[in-house]
Structure 1
Amino acid sequence: MKIADMNWFQVETYLKSDDRVILPLGSTEQHAYLSLCTDFILSNKLAEETGEGCGVPVYPGLPYGIAPYFSAYPGTVTIRPETYGDFVTDILASLVKSGFKRVLIINGHGGNCPVEEIIRPWLGKVPECRVLFHNWWSSKAVMEAVHKVSPNASHASWMENFPWTRLAEVPLPPEEKAPCDPDNLKQLPPEKVRSILGDGNYGGAYQAGDDAMLTIWRTAVAETTHLLDTGWTN
């Protein structure tokens, strides 16, 4: 149920019986051998599948995010946190103006997490609005499913290598990469981050079986659907 496939008459009709809406956030940044748009692809697809299953409109995902630590890798785009926070807040204000009161933000990128706190002052001024900020990749159910495959899983590793994020005819290293220390990376400038990470994988094998990945994906859809249906407070 994508907004791109709806007109304003249909939105007005929908709002007579429901006030929920989904907004995915992503990023365009290095993902080793995977698509630069991995975070956007995953959050957007998860939003669309969840929205379709629940009959809830899904707005186009934001393909950019906050990723200054990867700026030494060509292709990465990063937005200043204050700019990104203002942009998301303006979107939320427009959604509320339209009549949406419950917004599920499906976030696909760890660097975007500060947005949850940035929008909080605005939420204090709009008591009728509820926003759920869902970091889908790090949620309880998804991480449990991931760890059943391997505990060594992180950014740009096998856990993000789905059929829809891998690139055709791009060979992957056969070995498993040792995990890095993300907290240590936070202290370093982008060029040093690149020198330590090399290809960009934070740690783990580069690919797992598709059956395992589809199990993880189905877990993510089920968990997000449950959140959309039951996660709201009065």
Structure 2
Amino acid sequence: MKIADMNWMQVEQRTVEDDRCVLPIGSVEQHAYLSLATDMILAEKVSLDAAEPLGIPVFPVLPYGLASSFATFPGTLTLTLSSYVGVIRDLMDSIHRSGFRRVLIVNGHGGNTPATAVISEWLNAHPDTSVKFHDWWRAPKTWAKVQETDPAASHASWMENFPWTRTTDQRQPTGAKPKVDFAGLARVDAARKRALLGDGNYHGLYQRPDEDMLAIWDVAVAETRELLENDWH
């Protein structure tokens, strides 16, 4: 259930009955021909789809993350690391004050990984709380399904091309893009990264049949739901 559909009194009562909640986190950044909001869209939707049958509240997705590598692509918004650390800590403090003690953070962007270090430190000061950090797309069962479908899967490729991440732009390459030079990307600034990346896809096809995508999504939702249901202590 969406926190947006609840008032504060309902949240207070809910935490007495069940202290689980979900915080999706994403990024607004280039995704080739897909939505700039792909990472936040997918993190929020998989959270809502997984939590709905359980009645567990899902907070609105944190849209902005660490996307400095794509800073020169128009529409990409990024926080500095110092700002991001503060945002994650403040949100965790607020969630704790609200009474939640079991928190699933569903991450949609690989660049947000530094949040795990913040949470590790935060947990030392809040030993009454359990937090799971879930990279939904590369969780074991979901990633296995992706690899089974097509091992050439990467940022802004077919593996993020769901019906809900597409734009009105009808341009969609039909071929597969060769793998980019990852070592080269790692040693240059954002402007040179953009030159190396071209449209932004790292490698692979741009789109696969919707039946493939929905099959992957079903696995992702089930795997996320399992985290909500099991192994909190």
Match of 1:4 in 2: 4
2:71–2:190 CA contact under 8 A, matched in 1: yes
> Within 2, Cα distance between the matches of 1:183 and 1:133?
27
Question: Is residue 2:213 matched to residue 1:216?
Answer: no
State the alpha-carbon separation in 2 of the partners of residues 182 and 11 from structure 1: 45
Residues 85, 119 of structure 1: 8 Å contact kept: no
Aligned to 1:179: 179
CA distance in 2, matches of 1:216, 1:82: 35
- Residue 93 of structure 1 deviates from its aligned partner by 0.7
2:45 partner letter: K
Give the whole-Å Cα distance in 2 for the aligned partners of 1:131 and 1:188. Answer: 34
Structure 1: 4+ residue segments shifted above 4 A:
none
1:15 Cα deviation (Å)? Answer: 1.3
Partner of 2:121: 121
Aligned residues: 233
Query: Residues 200 and 125 (structure 1 numbering): CA distance in 2 closer, same or farther, change over 3 Å?
Result: same
Deviations 1:130-166 (A, max 9, x none): 1100001111111111111111010000000000001
Q: Distance in 1 between matches of 2:181 and 2:134?
A: 24
- The unaligned stretches of length 5 or more in structure 2 are none
* Residue 59 of structure 2: aligned partner: 59
CA distance in 2, matches of 1:183, 1:214: 32
| Higher alpha-carbon deviation: 35-44 or 167-176 | 167-176
User: TM-score normalized by structure 1?
Assistant: 0.97
Alpha-carbon offset, residue 118 of structure 1: 2.1
Fraction of identical pairs, as percent: 49
**Counterpart position of 1:229:** 229
Q: SS where residue 232 of structure 1 aligns?
A: coil
Greater CA drift, 120-129 or 165-174: 165-174
Deviation at 1:183, TM superposition (A): 4.2
Map 1:31-70 → 2, pairs under 5 A: 31-70=31-70
Q: What is the aligned partner in structure 2 of residue 85 from structure 1?
A: 85
Contact 2:88–2:118 at 8 Å: present in 1 too?
no
Normalising by structure 2, report the TM-score: 0.97
Alpha-carbon offset, residue 85 of structure 1: 1.5
